[in-house]
Amino acid sequence: MQKEDIKSFEKEFSKNAKNYSRYNIVQKKVAKKLISKIKNNPKNILDLGCGSGELYKLIDWNIEKFTAVDISEKMCAIHPKNNRIKVINADYEDEILYRHILKNENFDLIISSSSLQWCRDIEKVVKNISNFSKKCAVSIFCDGTFKTIYDISTLKTFLPNSKKVIKIFQKYFDIKYEIENYKLYFEDNFSKFRYIKRSGVSGGKRQLSYTQTKYLIENYPLDYLEFEILYITGDLKCF
């Protein structure tokens, strides 16, 4: 992801921040499942790509500190606030975050839901995670998402391959993982593409031309959109 892509990504999420809670149906389901995989009630948590705070809202145990990081200023603005929460408007791929803002921090758990798929260098992020916590729990949209759209349009997906992501995490953590496929049904094709635009799943990527979009709206053959989600929980490897 180049600098212009980062700006587009940030702009897209900021622009749709108010709509996000109405359209992030799949993300909410994914966040709920991810939280269900967390054991031992960690007290000090870092959330990368926190969005509007879906993970925090789902935590049902007592915590002492919750640090939330998101690149979108508007998302940070609507994240829950209290004396246990620290919200940081930053790019979680920026080394400044780890070397200065989070310097000397040590978290019981680092979490991220529906966010790491946007990484320019996911291994770099995973390595940074391993330096700040012995445990991680993440959910990532993978390249089976919108598969039919990409097959019809012949465009290359920008989402990561699940097998490659698993191998990266296995370098740093002993992991358990699960891949789950979701279907989200719609009454018509226009609603599908409106959902893609407003939900944030596209991450600001406008790869389709007007002609391609029109063709897909008219000819998309399924009454649902496809999603492939990779869930990973891990404990830091002892070298």
At 14, which CATH number?
A: 3.40.50.150
- Per DSSP (E only), the strands in 17-101 are 44-48, 65-70, 85-89
The count of domains in the chain is: 1
Tell me the per-residue pLDDT of 153-202, one tens digit each, with 9 for 90 and over. 888 898 999 999 999 999 999 999 999 999 999 999 999 888 887 776 65
The answer to whether residue 84 is domain-embedded is: yes
| Sign of the C-alpha dihedral computed for residues 53, 54, 57 and 61 taken in this order | negative
What domain range includes position 173? 3-143+157-182+227-236
The answer to whether residue 46 is domain-embedded is: yes
The answer to whether residue 56 is domain-embedded is: yes
The answer to whether residue 103 is domain-embedded is: yes
Tell me the per-residue pLDDT of 91-139, one tens digit each, with 9 for 90 and over. 999 999 999 999 999 999 999 999 999 999 999 999 999 999 999 999 9
Q: pTM for the full model? A: 0.88
- Are 189 and 217 a contacting pair, CB within 8 Å? yes
The answer to whether residue 210 is domain-embedded is: no
Which residue, chain included where needed, has tokens 């310097």? 103
The answer to whether residue 194 is domain-embedded is: no
